[in-house]
Amino acid sequence: MRVGMGYDVHKLAEGRKLVLGGVEIPYEKGLLGHSDADVLVHAVMDALLGAAALGDIGKHFPDTDERYKGISSIILLEYVAELLDKEGYIIENIDATIVAQRPKMRPFIEQMEKNMAEALKIETEQINVKATTEEGLGFTGTGEGISAQAVCALEKYTNYGSYDVAEMRKCAGCSGCAKENPA
C-alpha cells in the first residue's frame, strides 16, 4: 500500500467563480489561480500523484502552460486517474478537508464527492470530504483564502495476487463487494 498527502491554498478574489470539488458555489468571491483554482481537487491530485511517486500538479500542469488557463480541475483529475491506471494503481480511499471560514460547505459536499468519484472512476464511498473553519484565525479564518488537505491510499494491481489485471479495471463480481458480476 502507498499513502500520499496533498495540500493546496488559493487566495479569494473578486470577479472569480468559487469552484470546489467541481461544484460552483454561490459566493461573492472566488479563488484566484491559473486554472479554476479548485483547491480541493488540487490537494486530491497532489495526494494521488505523491502516493504513486509521479511528482505533483506543477510538474504535470504548469501554470506557465496556456493549455491549462481557466481549465476545470475535474478534467485534470481525469488525467491523473489515467496516469494512475497506466502505472497499475488502484485507489483504495481518499480523505480530504476544506479549510474555509465562509461559505458553508455542507450543502455541496455530496456533489463534490460524486464529481471526484466520477472523474476517478471509483465509488463515492471511497471519497470522504469534510470542511472546517479556523475560528477566525489565519488567512482562511480572516477570509483571505481557502485551503484543502487530502490523504489517499493506493495499491498496485499486482498486489492483488491471482486476479486478472484486465478484470481489475472493471467490476468482475468478486466477493469483495455486493455487486453482481456484470458479465
The span from the CA of 46 to the CA of 58, in Å, is 9
pLDDT band at 159 (very low <50, low <70, confident <90, very high): confident
Q: Has residue 157 got a pLDDT over 60?
A: yes
Pick the closest to residue 117 from 109, 107, 108, 127 (CA basis). Answer: 127
Pick the closest to residue 21 from 118, 124, 126, 112 (CA basis). Answer: 112
pTM of the predicted model as reported, rounded to 2 decimal places: 0.86
| Contact status, residue 45 vs residue 57, Cβ threshold 8 Å | yes
Instruction: Say if residue 92 carries a ligand binding annotation.
Output: no
pLDDT tens per residue, range 55-80? 999 999 999 999 999 899 999 999 99
CA dist 140 → 6, 57, 88, 134, 155 (Å) = 17, 22, 37, 7, 34
pLDDT band at 164 (very low <50, low <70, confident <90, very high): low
**Phi and psi, residue 160, nearest 5°:** -95, 20
The span from the CA of 140 to the CA of 7, in Å, is 14
Percent of the chain with pLDDT over 90: 81
Instruction: Say if residue 61 carries a ligand binding annotation.
Output: yes
Instruction: Say if residue 175 carries a ligand binding annotation.
Output: no
Instruction: Say if residue 134 carries a ligand binding annotation.
Output: yes
Instruction: Say if residue 57 carries a ligand binding annotation.
Output: yes
Instruction: Say if residue 62 carries a ligand binding annotation.
Output: yes
Instruction: Say if residue 108 carries a ligand binding annotation.
Output: no
Instruction: Say if residue 64 carries a ligand binding annotation.
Output: yes
pLDDT tens per residue, range 89-126? 999 999 999 999 999 999 999 999 999 999 999 999 99
**Cell numbers placing 143:** 477570509
pLDDT given for residue 170 in this prediction = 52
Instruction: Say if residue 46 carries a ligand binding annotation.
Output: no
Percent of the chain with pLDDT over 70: 87
| Contact status, residue 68 vs residue 35, Cβ threshold 8 Å | yes
Instruction: Say if residue 65 carries a ligand binding annotation.
Output: yes
**Of 10-14, 25-29, 128-132, 161-165, which gets the smallest average pLDDT?**
161-165
| Contact status, residue 149 vs residue 43, Cβ threshold 8 Å | yes
